[in-house]
Amino acid sequence: MTVLNTLVEEIINCRSCRLAEGRTNVVPGEGSWQSGLMLIGEAPGLQEDKQGRPFVGAAGKFLDELLQMIGLSRPEVYIANVIKCRPPQNRDPQPDEINVCKPWLERQISIIEPKVIVTLGRFSLSLFLPGKTIGNCHGKPFCINGITYFPMYHPAAALHQYRLREVIKSDMLKIPELLLEQQTNGTSEEAGDPPAQQLTLF
């Protein structure tokens, strides 16, 4: 068994917070462990909880479409969430739940070593770029410690606010260039980036 399989096993058996009580399945994340691109959402919803897989509901369909737009498919990227179990009635994840779950994500990131991390929605954004707001920084890359963080609106937001569909699509179209830049020389730091030590992760 590889270190990666071991990690997934550990995540699946986690009972460290109250969310373990109401879940059907843990949703550890899935995709290519060799991927340069990692997308990180918020938390599993109803369908994800039923199937144990991330982004398999309505928001996931849109995410699939977005990936297809840039010539990628699910197996070629890694998709995970800030928290691995569904909060009851899809309520917002609580700060203590995020804190308890954070080491899983940190370990996933340290194994996958993505070049580009796309944060989907505000919970994922504030984990990596605390203090930033999605309205101001979506579609802008932030390079910190060799990783390009790229904030995007959560795909589910487009289900409620149709005008966001085009915003999300146009942000998505910037990703291939970010991957290319990372392959060649790494991206430059944006003015006003938080210094690395302010990041909550690592």
Chain residues that interact with ligand URA, rule: CB under 6 A? 41-45, 48, 54-55, 57, 59-60, 81, 156
Smallest gap from residue 20 Cβ to ligand URA (A):
17
Q: Which is nearer to ligand URA, 37 or 59 (CB)?
A: 59
Closest residue to ligand URA in the complex (CB) = 41
Q: Which is nearer to ligand URA, 54 or 114 (CB)?
A: 54
End-to-end Cα distance, the chain: 26
Q: How far apart are CA 149 and CA 115, in angstroms?
A: 9
Are 37 and 77 within 8 A, CB to CB? yes
Smallest gap from residue 79 Cβ to ligand URA (A):
7
Smallest gap from residue 90 Cβ to ligand URA (A):
9
Smallest gap from residue 63 Cβ to ligand URA (A):
8
**Side chain identity at 140, as an amino acid letter?**
K
Q: Which is nearer to ligand URA, 55 or 150 (CB)?
A: 55
Q: Which is nearer to ligand URA, 31 or 60 (CB)?
A: 60
CB neighbours of residue 195 within 10 Å: 9
Helix-helix angle 95-112:3-12, to 10 degrees? 170
> What's 193's DSSP letter?
P
Smallest gap from residue 197 Cβ to ligand URA (A):
28
β-pairing verdict for 142-144 and 147-152: antiparallel
- Contacts for 14 with CB less than 8 Å, ≥ 6 apart: 20, 26, 84, 85, 104
**Side chain identity at 157, as an amino acid letter?**
A
Q: Which is nearer to ligand URA, 57 or 151 (CB)?
A: 57
Q: Which is nearer to ligand URA, 30 or 148 (CB)?
A: 30
CA nearest to 123, candidates 147, 162, 148, 157: 157
Smallest gap from residue 53 Cβ to ligand URA (A):
8
